[in-house]
Amino acid sequence: MNSDAGGKEKVALVFGGSRGIGAAAVRRLARDGFVVGFTYVSRPDSAQEVVDAVAADRGQAYAMQADSTDAAAIRMAVEKVVAHFGRLDVVVVNAGILRVGTIDAFTQADFDQVLQVNVRGVYVAIQAAVAHMGENGRVITIGSNTGVRPLTPIGTVYGMSKAAVAAMVKGLALDLAARGIRVNNIQPGPIETDMTAEHIEHIKGMVPLGQVGQPEDIAELVSYLAAPFSRYMTGSSLTIDGGMTL
């Protein structure tokens, strides 16, 4: 069991934990011995499936509805986890949205929503979480390899938002270093989830390794960054994309 010297279980919070990468991260952190709170937006059935899967594996997870366009809801999710479990050691900010289109077709409403969730929402979640973290706290963001370089002509705004997350992580790593809090970013390439099901075969052909990733591949990296093994790492963006951005 993952606990501190006093024997208390450590606590993780995953924003966007009901499906795909987020759900895999919740399950993996629970197997690592964390008790895990996580948020979902509109799928309580999927959230309950994650809670049940963790319980079947003798872990503990706690699901909360929270929309990452709502700063107050983000802060409330942090407060609920701290009230429920008594502390917070790790936060994984996975919540995000994908909107694509050329500049002629991309609406201002879509532009504003991408920045609201993928940039402002990430900052608000981290700001709220670190207020409750002590030394050895861990902040892990889920960015994208599109933040490294554009991969399609329709992904400008999404890639820009993920590049902003990578830059944010570098600044916050400096900001929080004196408190012993590590801040790192994971930049996945295409991952096989329900969101990518329609395009997966086309995407596979763009990956030098000839395959797409699985949510569990990203969850393993989350596990590493949440563990003591990563204590000398902060401010890093780790790209895991089968060689797409080489």
Active centre residues (catalytic): 158
* Rounded-to-integer distance, Cα 155 and Cα 49, Å: 32
123: tokens are 């900052």
Residue 109 belongs to what H/E stretch?
Answer: helix 108-115
The set of residues, in sequence order, having a beta carbon less than 8 Å from that of 231 and lying 6+ positions away, is 136, 182
Q: 156-177 vs 108-115: helix axis angle to the nearest 10?
A: 20
The closest alpha carbon to 75, from 155, 129, 21, 30, belongs to 129
- Residue 157 in contact with residue 110, Cβ under 8 Å? yes
Neighbours of 128 (CB within 10 A): 20
Q: What is the DSSP letter of 36?
A: E
